[in-house]
Chains A and B, each alone.
Chain A
């Protein structure tokens, strides 16, 4: 059973466009929601993260929008660049046990 559902599986965006990746969860015990970026053959790296007490967090071109009532959160990449081409994972951490649950990933391709 997938605790965190992520969509789309793949995404192609023109350079300068907006990339949007969505995630949904059911477990209200989750208290921390990070997004990771992974390049081929490498380990994931933390991109941006949010706690459920805020609805939006922005860092440079990357923004997380969080809807607690809908149990959904999304990553927006503004002015997408070819260097953003990577796989993106959303995740959620349970408030006890420090265990993380990951989405299935989105392969983003930014076309020049």
Chain B
């Protein structure tokens, strides 16, 4: 069953703690993305990676970190430096070849800071 999985579905964090959100895909996609979704603001890009061991900052990278050690995995760490981390986080993936354009999304992780 091909697709993108994100875990956990819900995550609660105390202020000052780092948390890591998991994203795994078995679609053989080269590129992976992390978005943050807030009400009324659409999807904002946090980080993206086109190939293993390489990634670029998106529009709102401050307070977040990522790694891309394997093609299938792109975990996102929300650090204590992120001032307002409560949001819905979406992972996505796609082929790099622009002939195949579709970006597939995971089911999301809702992070709440207590």
Query: Interface on A for B, CB 8 Å cutoff?
Result: 6, 9, 31-32, 34, 36, 41-46, 49, 89, 91, 93, 95, 97-105
A5 to nearest B CB, angstroms?
10
B98 on interface, CB distance cutoff 8 Å: yes
Contact A93 B101 (CB under 8 A): yes
Query: Interface on B for A, CB 8 Å cutoff?
Result: 4, 6, 31, 33, 35, 40-45, 48, 50, 56, 58, 90, 92, 94, 96, 98, 101-108, 110
Determine the chain A residues whose CB is within 8 A of the CB of B92 once the complex forms.
Answer: 43
Q: A103-B42, A104-B40, A105-B42 are in contact. Are A98 and B107 (CB under 8 A)?
A: no
Q: A98-B96, A100-B33 are in contact. Are A49 and B45 (CB under 8 A)?
A: no
Can you name 11 A-B residue pairings with CB atoms under 8 Å?
A6-B42, A9-B40, A34-B103, A43-B6, A49-B102, A89-B43, A97-B56, A98-B98, A99-B48, A100-B103, A102-B43
Give the distance in Å from the alpha carbon of A97 to the alpha carbon of B48 in the complex: 10
A61 to nearest B CB, angstroms?
20
Give the distance in Å from the alpha carbon of A32 to the alpha carbon of B19 in the complex: 34
Contact A46 B102 (CB under 8 A): yes
